[in-house]
Amino acid sequence: MGNAAGDHQHIDLHLGQLQNLNTTVFEFQAGGVVVEGFVYRDGDRLVAYLNRCAHVPYPLDFADGKFLSRDNKTFECQSHGARYNLWTGACVRGPCKDRKLISIPLVILNNNVVRLFTGGIDENRLPPAQDESQPVDDVDKVSGIR
Ligand code: FES
């Protein structure tokens, strides 16, 4: 979605732009680079995250906007199958153990504007991704369930 309005501290989307029971991708500036986030909407309940896996810092999707697992109960990284709780971003399965997605705070304003507070995310100060050498066993397990 390229029409988000905003500055370096927040961006505004309209609730009507956000797919229900699905995710919507948006872009924003973080530490001088353009990064992606995504919003998940279930009615008036929303949550947003940086599009960055906690296993290796890749986007969760393959630029196809698909974030949900087949059962629609978790987000699933398409690289190695890490799964995350929809509402907390916590890793629930796969090679992201003990990690979580980086959340983006938001509020819904009176006029159905969804304000995403992206100013706290600096690409240069993000926590390091998990050691790639550690989760090989988990990756093998996950690949069996896809
Ligand atoms: S990069 Fe997401 S599971 Fe490995």
Closest atom of ligand 1 relative to the 77 alpha carbon: 2
Q: Give the pLDDT band (50/70/90) at residue 140.
A: very low
Q: Please count the structural domains in the chain.
A: 1
pTM for the whole structure: 0.84
Q: Which helix (H) or strand (E) holds 115?
A: strand 113-116
What rounded mean pLDDT belongs to the chain? Answer: 85
Determine whether the shortest distance from the Cβ of 46 to ligand 1 is under 6 A: no
Whose CA is closest to 11, among 37, 42, 46?
37
Q: What are phi and psi of 18, to 5 degrees?
A: -100, 125
Count of other CB atoms within 10 angstroms of residue 62: 11
Alpha-carbon distance 11 to 5, whole Å? 5
Task: Average the pLDDT over 64-71 and give the result.
Answer: 97
Q: Which domain holds residue 82?
A: 5-143
pLDDT at 142 over 50: no
pLDDT of residue 143: 33
Task: Average the pLDDT over 29-48 and give the result.
Answer: 93
Angle, vertex CA 137, rays to CA 133 and CA 142, nearest 5: 115
